[in-house]
Structure 1
């Protein structure tokens, strides 16, 4: 396991400082510090584009294959069981891989990916209903609720704020 590279990852703190982590970030941090296996020292683990949700990247063959396809096509509706079947593995193995490699459940990882992608579309002026469909939400209402749960405001309010 590598040590933290303070030159590569500048922190805005001069001394020991308490920081707030959500449950998923806490779980990821604990998993990474308790595990003995090597993980790439990826600054995207806790931060993506400004304002986006943390989206840790998986590292194992199965989870990476799914993640790569979902990044290309976030509206892919396949369930974890369907993904697992197409990769000749069990849904339990796929779900376990996402949990162990990212600290997030498969469904939460996919939701964060979709919400992060939706930020770009909203900032380009796309309508909320169109954004919901393009990133894979079954309904605009489901998208709005997920957006509010993760960002604390509606997609419309975010779009107005970004304009």
Structure 2
């Protein structure tokens, strides 16, 4: 863990709405089991809602914005004892067991899960590039109808106002339904649908510009910016990383060298 002086200095920077740019001399995992936080690093903006978490390697400059009523958890690990397999800011998808352990530690429970075990579990989480963005489904009739159409046709360009008119509801009610029932705004929900669809197209070899148009972005640049904000990398970088895991000539997947599991005391 980080020393007491470093932790005290960091706590002094944190307010109810976030903290300014700073860096740690330890690795840190940020997670928001409730609400949403936005972390800005040299790689871009990373929006975190459960079950996504973010690894910040030691020395990474970052700032954060916290949404009202969000709950933010942070786990820190000494880089001299724990070898992080990520060289850059990396979002990971936490499974149910990892989330339960993190929450237990905030209650003073889970002492039986030592740092080495916890670190290994968190670094074995799936990389964000392998996970689709979380997309909670709305439950009210009008919002559910909009969501169903967008899931089938993410390139539908109708605005919330246009959707509301076609469904004979108010635009304000429709927007409130998305926010209340999914935890995210209509525009953000639609962006996530488009980005999730784009991953399949990229993996099948479609060009970035063509993918942007197919999923409904009005410009390639807008697509690239949205992709980087949510996935921490551009579509081009994602394609290169994905190619490293695609089937080789023998038909079997090529695997990158596996990172050695961290061992306490190294």
TM-score band, normalised by the shorter chain?
A: 0.7 to 0.9
Q: Which runs of 5 or more structure 2 residues have no equivalent in the other structure?
A: 1-28, 38-47, 51-66, 71-95, 97-125, 244-266
For the pair 1:128 / 2:208, whether they are aligned, the reply is yes
Alpha-carbon distance in structure 2 between the residues aligned to 1:69 and 1:99: 18
Alpha-carbon distance in structure 2 between the residues aligned to 1:50 and 1:152: 13
Shift of 1:53: 0.9
Alpha-carbon distance in structure 2 between the residues aligned to 1:160 and 1:99: 35
For the pair 1:20 / 2:22, whether they are aligned, the reply is no
Equivalence for 2:112:
none
RMSD between superposed Cα atoms in Å = 2.4
For the pair 1:88 / 2:99, whether they are aligned, the reply is no
Greater radius of gyration (CA): 2
CA-to-aligned-CA distance 1:25-57 (integer Å, 9 cap, x gap): 267x97xxxxxxxxxxxx9xxx9x942111111
Shift of 1:158: 0.5
SS in 2 for 1:69: helix
Equivalence for 1:100:
180
Shift of 1:19: 6.2
* 1:112 corresponds to which of 156, 181, 192: 192
Shift of 1:76: 0.3
Give the alignment's TM-score, normalised by structure 2.
0.46
Alpha-carbon distance in structure 1 between the residues aligned to 2:130 and 2:239: 15
* 1:63 corresponds to which of 128, 143, 154: 143
Give the alignment's TM-score, normalised by structure 1.
0.73
CA-to-aligned-CA distance 1:134-156 (integer Å, 9 cap, x gap): 00000000000000000010001
More strand by share: 2
SS in 2 for 1:20: strand
How many residue pairs align between the two structures? 130
CA-to-aligned-CA distance 1:55-95 (integer Å, 9 cap, x gap): 11111101100000001100000000000000001110000
Alpha-carbon distance in structure 2 between the residues aligned to 1:58 and 1:90: 16
